[in-house]
Amino acid sequence: MPDNRSAAAQQYRRWYWTARWRELRKAQLEREPWCHLCHAAGRHTHASIVDHRQPHRGNPDLFFDPSNLASLCPPHHDATKQRLEAGRRQVALGADGWPAAERGG
């Protein structure tokens, strides 16, 4: 499958394969083993993804900054966080941390 990202994006995507990133990722998951969005909703879900709180957009200072990292579970990373970064409206979350069902008229 072809990579349709810009040349700049293709370049910084390589950072995810560096020893420096692997060490940061490991340290983050040891420091914060629970998904921080689930935890905020009162649940304990193991995190397996390290996300950037503030999108780095190719800025190495933000990419490799440990204070810019957050641990997330796959559903929160792949749906909730992506929706927020895309600028789509925030949906109300239920007590379980998942989007609450919208009520139609």
Considering the entire predicted model, what is its pTM? 0.70
Neighbours of 48 (CB within 10 A): 13
Q: What is the dihedral of CA 23, 26, 30, 36, to 10 degrees?
A: 120
Question: From CA 72, how far away is CA 74, in angstroms rounded?
Answer: 6
Each residue's pLDDT, cut to its tens digit, for the chain (105 residues) gives 556 767 777 788 899 999 999 999 999 999 999 999 899 889 999 999 999 988 888 999 999 999 999 999 999 888 766 666 666 555 555 655 555 554 333
